[in-house]
Amino acid sequence: MSGIVVGVDGSPAAQHALVWAHAEAKQRGTDLDVVMAWTYPYQWAEGFNPEWAADNDYFAKSAAAETDGAIDAMLAGEPRPAWIHTHVVEGAAPVVLLRLARDAELLVVGTRGRGGFRDLLLGSVSTACVHHTPCAITVVPTPDDQPATSK
């Protein structure tokens, strides 16, 4: 993959990162690879759940639909350009993003995803990507990325 790789996960921070990465790819005249990494909960794993194969397919299709929805929301009714590509990959988000960014010009992530620690400036995925990135990286803040203040 060359061009810009951006991670999405359905969070507001990821949507801001996608919008920023889209504008940057458009300005640079390069491809935009939109990546959604997904995993299924251990309760659904083979051996625990007799419907594992169907669930695995369900989670993959749900992740693909969520990725397409994020892109459609960003484009606001405009047709999808041929230079935007989607990649829905089973695996841990940092591992998937870092692997796909190996030959990229730029990796783009949001500050926080779906994790529960709202006061952190960086989430676990963005932190892992910052520390191990194989290319340039941009961490896009969201408007609410101000740390909480104590009273």
Compute the distance between CA of residue 40 and CA of residue 126 in angstroms, rounded to an integer: 20
For helices 124-132 and 93-100, give the axis angle rounded to 10 degrees.
Answer: 40
List the domains of the chain with CATH numbers.
4-140 (3.40.50.620)
Kindly report the backbone phi and psi dihedral angles of residue 77, in degrees, each rounded to the nearest multiple of 5, phi listed first: 90, -15
> Tokens standing for 123?
């989430």
Compute the distance between CA of residue 42 and CA of residue 23 in angstroms, rounded to an integer: 37
pLDDT at 141: 87
Q: What pTM was computed for the model?
A: 0.84
Torsion of CA 47, 53, 55, 56, to 10 degrees: 100
User: Angle at CA 45, nearest 5°, toward 90 and 55?
Assistant: 70
Residues paired with 34 in a beta bridge: 6, 86
pLDDT at 24: 97
Q: How many CB atoms lie within 10 A of CB 53?
A: 10
Listed residue (84, 70, 94, 90) closest to 3, CA to CA: 84
Where in the chain does DSSP place strands (E)? 4-7, 32-38, 84-90, 106-110, 136-140
Could you list the pLDDT tens digit for every one of the 151 residues in the chain?
Answer: 679 999 999 988 899 999 999 999 999 999 999 999 998 765 555 566 566 566 677 888 889 999 999 999 999 999 999 999 999 999 999 999 999 999 999 999 998 755 444 545 678 889 999 999 999 999 998 876 544 444 3
